[in-house]
Amino acid sequence: MSIKPPLMDLPIATAESGFYAGFSKHVAVISKIIVAVLVIWAVVFPEQAGKILDTINSFILSNTAYWYIWIVALFVLLCIGLALWPSAGKLRLGVEDDRPDFSNFSWFSMMFGAGIGVGMLTWAVAEPVYHWGNNPEVIKGLVEGSSAENVRNAYKWSFLHWGLGAWACYAIAGLSLGFFCYRRGLPLTMRSSLTPLFGKSLSGGLGHLIDIVAVVATILGVAQTLGFGVEQFVAGLTRIGIGGLTNEAGTANTMGIVVAILVIMGASTMSALSGVGKGIKWLSNLNMGLSIFLLAFFLIFGSTWFGLQALILGVWDYLIAMPDMMFRVWRSDGVEGSIATSLEGWQGGWSVFYWAWWVAFAPFVGLFLARISKGRTIREFVLGAMIVPSLMCFVWFTWAGGTAIDLELNGSADGVIVGAPDGDKIFAMVQHMLSASMGWIMSVIIVILLMTYLVTTADSAVLIVNTINAAGDEGPKARPHIYFWGIALGAVVAALLIAGGHKAIQTAMVIGAFPFSIVMVLQCIALVKAIWRDSQRERAGVQTTNPDNAPEPAE
C-alpha cells in the first residue's frame, strides 16, 4: 500500500474586504462576542455572575482533579519521550536548511518573559512562604508548619507547580504548532496542530471552534496573570510613595486597578504594534537584564547559603517525589475537617488550579514559542523550553523566597513578610533588608521590572490572539484589531477584579481552560501520529516538509 504525503494545505476562509479583511470572521467575531458578554455580565450583574461562575468552578474542580493531574503528567512524559526518541528529537521545526532566527539569549528572554515572568515576581517569595506554613505534610501531621524542618517540603511543592509540569504544557502547544506550521506550511493557528486527526475538515466549523476555544482560553489565562501583576504593581506604586491606590486591607482599590490597567495596556498595545522583532524583543531583553540584576541582589545580599541549600535539596526532593506528586489525586472522605478533605481542598486550590492556569496559558505561550522557535530541533526545543526556564524559576524561588523564609526563621522579619499581601511580600522583604532610601530605590527597580514583564505578557497575548483570528497571519491589517484586543484584555482584568477580585478571575480561567485541555490531549495524539508517519514516509521516499509554503515569523 502506497504511503500518502501529509496534508500541506489547509485553507481557512477570510474576509476579502471591510474591517475584517484578512480575518476569519467566524473566529474573530464570536471570540469578541464571548469576551464582551463576559465583561458586561461581570460589571452589570456581579453577584449573579459570581454565584454562577463559582458553581461551575466548584463542579469542574471537584470532578476533574484526576483529569488535570494526569494530563499534565502525560505532557511531561511525552516531552521527555520526544527528546529521547532519536528520529523525533533531530527533526527541525522547519525544513532542513532552517536555522533559529533569534540568539539563545533573546530566545530564552522572550520565552521566560512571555511565560511566567509576571507570576514569578509575585510567587517567588509568596509561594515558598505559604507552603512553608502549610502543605500536605503539615496537613498529615508529619511536620510542623513554619518550622526549619518544613523548608524542604515548601520547595518540593513550589517546584512542582513552577517546574517541568508548567513548561510541558507550553512545550506541547508550541511544539505542535511549530511542527505543523514550519514543516507542513500550514497556518500558524491552533487548528493546524490537529490535522493528522481531522484533516481538511478543520477548514470549516470544527476548526473555527478550536480556534475560538484557544482565543477565549488565552484571554482568560492571561487575565489571571495580569490580575496578579496589577495587584503587585499597585502595591509597588504604594511602596514608592504614590498613595490613594489601595484600600485598608492593602490591596488595590478601584482607582488603583484602573490606573494600573491604563498604564500597562497602553504601553503593551504600543509595543504590540511594533511586532515581535522590535518592541517585544527589546522589552524581553530589558526585563531579562533587570531580572539578572535583581537575582544578583538576592544572591549577594540575601540568604546566600540558605538559598543554595534550598536549591540543591529542593531539586533533589522534587525529582525524587515527582512521580508521586504528579500522579497522586487526593479525594475527600466526606467528613468536613478530616485529613482527606483538607488534602483534597489543598490540591484543588493549588495543584489543580495551577494546572488549569498553565493549560489556559498554553495557547498563548505555545503559539508565541512556535513563532520564535523556527529552525530549532524538537530536542532543542523541548530541553530549552522545559529545563532552562524551570531552573530559572527554581533559582528565583530559592534565593528570593529562601531569603524571606530565613528572615522569618531567625526572627529578624518578625512577621513583616508573612503578614504582607502576596503581591507586597517582595517589597516588604527588600524594604526590611535595606535602609529606607536603598529600599525605595530597589522597590522602584522591582516596579520597573514588573512593568516590563506585564507589558511583554500583554502585548504578546494581543499579537497571538490576532494571529489566531487572522487564520495564522499577522501584519499591518491587524492594527485596528490590536487596539481592540488591548482594550478588551484590560477590560476583562479590570471588570473581574472590580466585580469579584482574584476569585472571579480564577473562576473564569478554570472554566475557560477545560475545553482547551481536551484540545491539548488531542495535540499529543496528533503530534505522535505525525512523527511516526513521517518516519514511514521518509523510508518510502515521500516528502514530509513543504519548503515553498512555510510562513515566516512576523517581525
**For residue 184, what are the domain limits?**
25-327+354-539
Q: Is residue 162 part of a domain?
A: yes
- Residue 215: pLDDT above 70? yes
Look at residue 41 and tell me if it is in a domain.
Answer: yes
Q: Is residue 244 part of a domain?
A: yes
Residue 17 has pLDDT above 80, yes or no: yes
Is residue 101 situated within a structural domain?
A: yes
For residue 135, is pLDDT > 80?
A: yes
Q: Rounded to whole angstroms, how far apart are CA atoms 360 and 389?
A: 18
Give the pLDDT score at 334: 82
Query: Would you say residue 109 has pLDDT above 90?
Result: no
Cα separation, 48 vs 19, whole angstroms? 35
Output the DSSP codes for 306-359. HHHHHHHHHHHHHHHHHHHHHH------S-TT-HHHHHHHHHIIIIIHHHHHHH
Q: Is the dihedral of CA 457, 461, 505, 46 positive or negative?
A: positive
Name the residue with higher pLDDT: 523 or 280: 523
In this prediction, residue 462 has a pLDDT band, given cuts at 50, 70 and 90, of confident
Residue 340 lies in a domain: no
Q: At what angle do helices 304-327 and 151-162 cross, to 10 degrees?
A: 60
Q: What is the pLDDT of residue 389?
A: 85
The string of pLDDT tens digits covering residues 347-384 is 988 999 899 989 988 988 888 888 888 889 999 999 88
Rounded mean pLDDT, 444-455:
86
Number of domains in the chain: 1
pLDDT greater at residue 530 or residue 270:
530
Torsion of CA 159, 161, 166, 169, to 10 degrees: 140
pLDDT tens per residue, range 285-304: 777 788 888 889 998 999 99
The structure's pTM equals 0.89
What are 174-191's pLDDT values in tens digits? 999 999 999 998 998 999
Residue 555 has pLDDT above 70, yes or no: no
The percent of residues in the chain predicted with pLDDT above 70, rounded, is: 92
Question: What is the gyration radius of the CA atoms in the chain, in angstroms?
Answer: 23
The three grid cell numbers given for residue 22, joined into one nine-digit string? 484578512
CA of 227: how far to CAs of 77, 281, 476, in Å?
31, 23, 29
Residue 263: band (very low, low, confident or very high) from pLDDT cuts 50, 70, 90: confident
Nearest by Cα to 271 from 260, 282, 261: 282
**Which pLDDT does position 284 carry in this prediction?**
66
Does 8 map to a domain? no
Residue 20 lies in a domain: no
Q: Is residue 164 part of a domain?
A: yes
Confidence tier at 430 by pLDDT (50, 70, 90):
very high
Residues present in the chain in total: 555
Average pLDDT, the chain: 86
**Could you tell me the CATH number of the domain that includes residue 514?**
1.20.1740
Return the sign of the alpha-carbon dihedral for residues 65, 68, 74, 79: negative
pLDDT > 70? residue 502: no
Q: Is 387 exposed, middle or buried (0-12, 13-18, 19+ CB in 10 A)?
A: middle
